[in-house]
């Protein structure tokens, strides 16, 4: 299992078993693990494409992604997933935490997108 796959498995474990000492915090913990899975996939992608890009900020990596991944739909999906999961990681008193159904939908997208990144050759 890849590091990105392992992180996504942990995210799903938190999602499936929220009672494991994470009352009230499990949605954000799962979102954080999901985002880390996507980031690991991006790190592996940049390692193959342009290793120096791993030193750049995540925002810069996402901005440059369309120059290396010639799939506008995947680029949009990656940017959207990263932004959505990032937003879900942070507590805002005026917003509800993501639901289990939302998280699972986002995790399915991350799984597809990480696979798409892995299929891209340098």
Contact between residue 86 and residue 35 where contact means Cβ atoms under 8 Å apart? yes
Tell me the domains of the chain and their CATH numbers: 3-119 (1.20.120)
| Mean pLDDT value of segment 32-46 | 95
Task: Tell me how crowded residue 86 is: count the other CB atoms within 10 A of its CB.
Answer: 15
pLDDT in the model for residue 117: 94
pTM, two decimals, is: 0.86
Q: Which residue has the higher pLDDT, 95 or 55?
A: 55
pLDDT, tens only, 64-104? 999 999 899 999 999 999 999 999 988 878 888 899 899 99
């Amino acid at each position: 299992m890849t590091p990105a796959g392992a992180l996504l498995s942990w995210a799903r474990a938190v999602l499936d078993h929220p009672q494991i000492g994470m009352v009230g915090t499990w949605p954000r913990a799962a979102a954080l693990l999901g985002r880390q899975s996507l980031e690991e996939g991006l790190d592996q992608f940049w390692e193959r494409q342009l290793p120096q890009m791993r030193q750049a900020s995540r925002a810069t990596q996402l901005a440059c992604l369309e120059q290396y991944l010639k799939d506008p739909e995947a680029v949009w999906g990656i940017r959207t997933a990263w932004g959505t999961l990032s937003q879900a990681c942070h507590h805002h008193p005026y917003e509800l935490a993501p639901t289990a159904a939302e998280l699972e939908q986002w995790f399915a997208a991350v799984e597809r997108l990480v696979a798409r990144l892995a299929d891209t050759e340098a």
